[in-house]
Structure 1
Amino acid sequence: MLTGKENCAFLGKPPQALLHDNKPIYSDKKLHDAVEKTTRMIPATLRRPGNKAILEGGFGKFEQEVGRIHLDDSSEEALKKSAVAEILRAYTAGSDHAGRAEFDGKSRQEVLRNACPDPDRERRFIEQLHADHSKPRKDCLPTREVARKLLDKGFALFGIEGLDPQGKIREWLSVRFGPEAIRQGLAIFGTKRDKGLLRSNMAHRYLVKVIQNCQHEIDLRRQKELLREFAETEHNAWLQDLIPDYELLKAECDGSSPEKDLDFRVSENAVFGCLFLQQAFWENKLKALLKDRRDRIAAVCNHVRRLFEATWEDRFQLMSKLIAWEYQISG
């Protein structure tokens, strides 16, 4: 990896900005004092790996071009020779310094140097980006204070405050998980601890995992409720379209011909329904029609069998249900 000075030499000038991870090392004051003489340091967007995708992709690209580095450390002389050989191989395998046809013979390095933006024109954008990425992030739950009180109470009650002397674990939990999950997690943790099933020096890790699992379960229950609510709305919307279709079909079918046979027409809709809800609707209507007319089931089966435009699976499934209704072996 290139050092800061080597990067400047490669670009021909110091970069205007440096996008970096949110690791603690990048908060070091000495690092900022050294780098920000010429280059603005900008933290990457939190929890968005794609923010640095182009930069991270460079490592994989280098690995593809150069491959594994092999050094022979059997002796000092062998190590020197292998190191020189690998440096030459890596340099020749790389593509940044080589002339490219698409750049009229210029290398990527030359193009990059000439493509560096005008410092004055881009400065305002860089400063705004730095301000946006550096301001405190308000991504904690509004229940943080209540959650923290629960955690403080639980840690004190179970005598595990010493495992979190600075409160960092409790703070991390309080901004991410709701009071209900924390309350449940503490209760589960307490019963396990009372049974002597937890090692004291690892207890806090178990508690974190339990609270996470409780939150996932709470979220899943809420998601299930929302799914049911939205599914009911969708179900009613489909029925609003299907019920008039059935009434129209009944009015059209007088039984004077196979084309106007209500049983046949409903069975066709059951086979060709593109959605499960549509198929279920027409199957229920067909079942109601045939409930007291089981002698008609054989004819309907034959009609369904000859619906060659439908798939074999759809025809087979409906015929299977018809026969089950005929012999009353299906509800």
Structure 2
Amino acid sequence: MSNPIGSSSSSERELTVAEVGEFPTIARAASGRRQPTTTLVGPGHDAAIVAAADGRVAVSTDMLVEGRHFRLDWSSPYDVGRKAVAQNGADVAAMGARPIAFLVGLGCPPDTPVSVLDGISAGIGEAAEAIGAGVVGGDLVQADQVIVAVTVLGDLQGRAPLLRSEARAGDIVALAGSTGASAAGLALLEAEHTGFTDLVDAHRVPSPPYEAGVGAVLAGAHAGTDISDGLLADLGHIAVASAVAITVEQHTVEPGPRLTAAAEELGADPWGWVLTGGEDHALAACFPPEVELPDGWRRIGRVHEGSGVTVDGRTRESPGGWESFGSATSR
């Protein structure tokens, strides 16, 4: 989706954050935003008040730094905002919670056009509203580059949280969503390839299967995780936390025709994207073998005694995956 913040006059678009001022810029971000019934006190006070009927709150936070996690010549500010919600919302969804509130910290140089923050705020606000959550507060500070820091609150609604540490030998490993498209989109952007806009869009704005996390808990899943660092890397987190081994059945995650075609044009390996590419924000979970997988989930492997993650019983030379202090490539 394109950035909807673009209908104002050219003179307004050229205003900087310094010219508009901190509090008017914050007011622009909060203006017109709808709040769910869980928001008891919203923006405009020293703190927000959010109701979680369960009495427990799942909390996660992530940061996006310009030049490291996004580039504004590759993504619109609106898409950056939507991506920030997706990567945070998927974290609590992976635990079986429903996202109910987001807190947003924005940093930027004083000469940043205010339209950039308008776009990021619109993307965050609309993405949050689309999943039934509200943006309940935040902060704006001066920084050397644009920084988006988002914290999400999730309501477990009486369910036990889905942890990484409870997988058991014999469990079925299942996936909700798909992997590889975001990594393919990033490769296309890096190569300045103008085709495969669906894959590029998947990198710019992931679409997590939010409801699948709740479905997994209700079906009796033992363990789960969000696929943010790469399929093998994130299954590795479950394997380590649960002290088990996981085998992925390669035929169940075979790259589709779009990934295969893109890989052929770039001279890339589509299996690398599927198995080690990050930022798809699919969900993985480990289910008891007698459980019928809920809607949206498909089997991709099994849990065994032992350690590590293999593909058809073979160890991949490198699990790949995102490492924050590794590659300098912007995401």
Question: Which TM-score band applies after superposition, normalised by the shorter structure?
Answer: under 0.3
Q: TM-score when scaled to structure 2?
A: 0.19
- Which has the larger share of helix? 1
Max radius of gyration: which structure? 1
